[in-house]
Amino acid sequence: MTQRIKILTGYLNKTMTLNRTKYFIVFMLLLSVKDILSQDLKLWYTRPASKWVEALPVGNGRIGAMIFGGIENDRIQFNEETLWTGGPRSYSRPGAYKYLDTIRQLLFAGKQKEAEALAEKEFMGLKSFEGERSSWINKVTVDKKFAGENFDDSKWPTMQVPSWDGWEMVGFEGLDGAIWLRTSFMLPDDWIDKELVLDLNRIRDHDYTYINGKLVGSQQDNEGRKYKIAKNDLHKGKNTIAILVLNFFDKGGIYGYKDTTKHIGIYPINNEATKISLNGQWKYFVQNDDPPPVGAYQASYQPFGDLNLIFSNTAGVTNYKRELDISNAVASTSYSVDGVNYKREYFVSQPNQVMAINLTASKRSSISFEISLSSPHKNFAIKKINATTIALSVQVKNGALQGQSYLEVKANGGVIKNGKGKLIIEHADEATVFVTAGTSYKNYKDVSEDPSLSCITALKSIKSKTYQQIKTAHVKEYQAFFNTFSIDLGKSENETLPTDQRLEKFARSNDPSFVALYLQYGRYLLISSSRPGTRPANLQGIWNDLLNPPWGSKYTTNINLEMNYWPAEALNLSPMHEPLFQMLKELSQTGKQTAKDHYNAPGWVLHHNTDLWRGTAPINAANHGIWVTGGAWLCRHLWAHYLFTQDKIFLKNTAYPIMKEAALFFNSFLIKDPKTGWLISTPSNSPEQGGLVAGPSMDHQVIRGLFNNVIAASQLLNLDSIFRNTLKEKIKQIAPNQIGRYGQLQEWIQDVDDTTNKHRHISHLWAVHPGNEINWDDTPELMKAARQSLLYRGDAATGWSLGWKINCWARFKDGDHAFRLIQMLLSPSKSDAGSYPNLFDAHPPFQIDGNFGGAAGIGELILQSHTKFIDILPALPAALSNGEVKGYCARGGFVFDIKWSNGKLQELTVTSKTGQPLLLRYNNKVVNIHTAKNIVYKFDASLNKL
């Protein structure tokens, strides 16, 4: 951790390692945008956030927070990027490779189900420790007094029942265990002789259901429940229902129906129409909240805690405004009460590693509030550190990690009291709250760090600093990244609207500046979730409020993690790529064991997910978890970083060793298809459909890409000529892209595509984007087929899938089609894909990849550099016919300023950072020039050099 803190706090100071120095130099070179364009760079609202996806995200790559901006109670939910479940352990299954050949043979013989069954049994990675359930169940079911009709539950609190998608949705985040739920109903007189049906629908995970103390049903699954109730078990008047729900993990409780207009209830057999609804507040009692651990293939990212600021003088608030200014990464809440203007500012500082919340008012002595820390973790404690500081400590359930957070308040004027776990500030002129957080994570193999160390270091670093000094340093550090690029797509009337209303209207308005804002917001989110020296942005960046977040809020590598980094190079945030490269270094270590255990192969392999502990083995299920090209795809980012920066030292020391080891794996893994004679990837799948197969097209595209890049890199570095020749030979033998009977690009080696398939993954289009082997110049027929495949797939999709399709339509050079998808992405998400009020991408639920894919896709409309040409305005939509960008990066080490109007180029300026030859194309005109390092070249509207 000490090393990590040094990196984090000292990114710009002298403790930087050589590696960091190099990034620093790169980013200083990128500071080429002299004048920042006039831009619309605020998200703002006229109401506090009532939901998490309305709150505004701030972060420094390590600490993230969501600002609700409440008037009486300002909730700030926060995270620290290394607080996860689980701990260091081995994820791969020793000896799995012994089944590899049989699985392959079964697939070759067309026996997919048998292959999947064998793989499920013998080839998946190892889960974490699974506790013993039956003795726990025996223990919690012994005492049946809570089931009794006459049991007095009047003192029990109540819970809303049912709660579709879990009791977490009605305020019981993190509740697992044995929980009793009780209610009653009045039996209508004419039902007395009737047999009834108790319809509860789904319950998670296991229930014991009693009527008047008698067990009437018990089911051990997550499916629907309809229990028959004999007439003798009922009586006139009030009847009692008591249900013991056992929930082991994740979501729990009586779910009822997804269609919430349909109630759970009780009715006579064959007469559902007379159902008595049982929806309502039920009494509940947590009998035991410590169920045995459930084995998990990988760990989940965890929330850390909440800060609650309570204000009393809030009657008659006017002028309320909540905003996030992404030009300086500062959020604020402001309002007036009784003629006094109040303002709160919030940011997370990278140089000082603290979150700061500054409270001011237009009248002296007006700042009074209480502040406390809490946490959704069951195991948390608050203690006093000194007169102005309290600390929160958390212990993750089912995991090794502990966390510490310190909260310190500094005030001018007034008094600060510290008692009963909270700080009370009275009549101050101004106050600043500082929050820090750290965990016991040292690295993926070691959890022995002192979690308070980073808190103490951070608070020490601000000891003699004023709020203004801390803010100035924060803004300077942030803007060094953010200001490298600017975009102006024109002004629009909707800029005067709050962001949520603007989002509502976007698809029906002419609001191009909202597109520019969305792109810049993507850059803001990347800087805020992936600063050099931190961990990469996960499925939710660094923002997560749930103990059981969707897909573990981890790293899915069959599209999602890669998409997070699509904007990094082109949108001039190259240094933000560094956390991914550090992770790749680690994955190339853990992935060696998986290559050996599962494939008896050299090199390293990563399947479709990873986590803080750098798991690389197959997870979830054989039909989609056995997918071998996660690591190979990620290697493309190493190569892209080289192409954009031309940094040969990076190529030699960081990129090439990882890429070469990945290629070594595939050199051994590819085998000859007995039918076609081609080298193919098997077993694998086309994410995440079609089951376990031999030879999905995407794998071959990714592997060819990797081999080509390793060949090019080894040539540049003058290394490994023998291996290079081997790869050259192998590439020729890998199964080629094929056009199928519907004119489509085949997703699999056999021509089995279904033209009505609307699956969100468009994996076989990988070669169009993010790959480049299929393009209009070199492979027009395949490009046509790929385009046809995307037409079959259709437009509607999840958030990230829209992001991917935008990039593909840009590559097909159809900007108007891409723009239609941008409109879909920038639509308010109800229960479908789009954006939440805070412009977080909705898969749904929230997943950050769509934000990044969308931002990168907007960029691809303006410039593309994935072929030998650098294409200027290759896919400009009619809706974005006027605009200007500054600081757009292209492969070859070029930085572009481009101005266009009425859909036509006006001015073009190129800075050559490393003196590579430049091959420009605009409107079919091609210009080829030699460039010199750090020289600026200007062109007119017809690409004539000025």
Interaction site with ligand FUC (CB under 6 A): 539, 551, 556, 560, 688, 760-761, 798, 800, 843, 847
Residue 64, beta-bridge partner list? 59, 79
Cα dihedral 28→34→37→41 (10° resolution): 30
Residue 122 CB, shortest distance to ligand FUC, in Å, is 23
Q: Which is nearer to ligand FUC, 8 or 808 (CB)?
A: 808
Q: Which is nearer to ligand FUC, 545 or 688 (CB)?
A: 688
Q: Which is nearer to ligand FUC, 360 or 558 (CB)?
A: 558
Residue 542 CB, shortest distance to ligand FUC, in Å, is 16
- Using an 8 Å Cβ cutoff, are 82 and 441 in contact? yes
Coil/strand/helix, residue 690: strand
690 φψ region: left (φ > 0), alpha (ψ -120 to 50), beta (else): left
3-state secondary structure 883-923: EEEEEEEECCCEEEEEEEECCEEEEEEEEECCCCCEEEEEC
Q: Which is nearer to ligand FUC, 409 or 702 (CB)?
A: 702
The rounded distance, in Å, linking the Cα atoms of 844 and 829 is: 8
The rounded distance, in Å, linking the Cα atoms of 518 and 632 is: 30
Residue 765 CB, shortest distance to ligand FUC, in Å, is 15
Q: Which is nearer to ligand FUC, 761 or 805 (CB)?
A: 761
Token pair in block for residue 661: 């080891």
Residue 859 CB, shortest distance to ligand FUC, in Å, is 22
Distance of alpha carbon 417 from the chain centroid: 39
Residue 801 CB, shortest distance to ligand FUC, in Å, is 8
Residue 341 CB, shortest distance to ligand FUC, in Å, is 44
- How far CA 789 is from CA of 481, 756, 758, 764, 833, in Å, comes to 38, 10, 10, 9, 21
Cα dihedral 336→337→338→341 (10° resolution): -40
Q: Which is nearer to ligand FUC, 535 or 724 (CB)?
A: 535
Q: Which is nearer to ligand FUC, 64 or 799 (CB)?
A: 799
Angle between helices 849-862 and 815-825 in degrees, nearest 10: 150
CA angle 475, 478, 480 (to 5 degrees): 105
Cα dihedral 457→459→462→467 (10° resolution): 150
Q: Which is nearer to ligand FUC, 811 or 843 (CB)?
A: 843
3-state secondary structure 441-466: CCECCECCCCCCHHHHHHHHHCCCCC
- How far CA 637 is from CA of 78, 717, 761, in Å, comes to 30, 18, 20
Residue 118 CB, shortest distance to ligand FUC, in Å, is 23
Residue 635 CB, shortest distance to ligand FUC, in Å, is 20
The rounded distance, in Å, linking the Cα atoms of 53 and 72 is: 20
The rounded distance, in Å, linking the Cα atoms of 927 and 258 is: 59
CA angle 513, 519, 521 (to 5 degrees): 100
Distance of alpha carbon 512 from the chain centroid: 26
Amino acid residing at 377: H
Q: Which is nearer to ligand FUC, 539 or 765 (CB)?
A: 539
Residue 587 CB, shortest distance to ligand FUC, in Å, is 17
Q: Which is nearer to ligand FUC, 467 or 566 (CB)?
A: 566
Q: Which is nearer to ligand FUC, 343 or 759 (CB)?
A: 759
Q: Which of 114, 120, 109 lies closest to 626, judged by CA?
A: 120
Q: Which is nearer to ligand FUC, 116 or 430 (CB)?
A: 116
Q: Which is nearer to ligand FUC, 322 or 760 (CB)?
A: 760
Residue 465 CB, shortest distance to ligand FUC, in Å, is 41
Cα dihedral 126→132→133→135 (10° resolution): 170
Residue 560 CB, shortest distance to ligand FUC, in Å, is 5
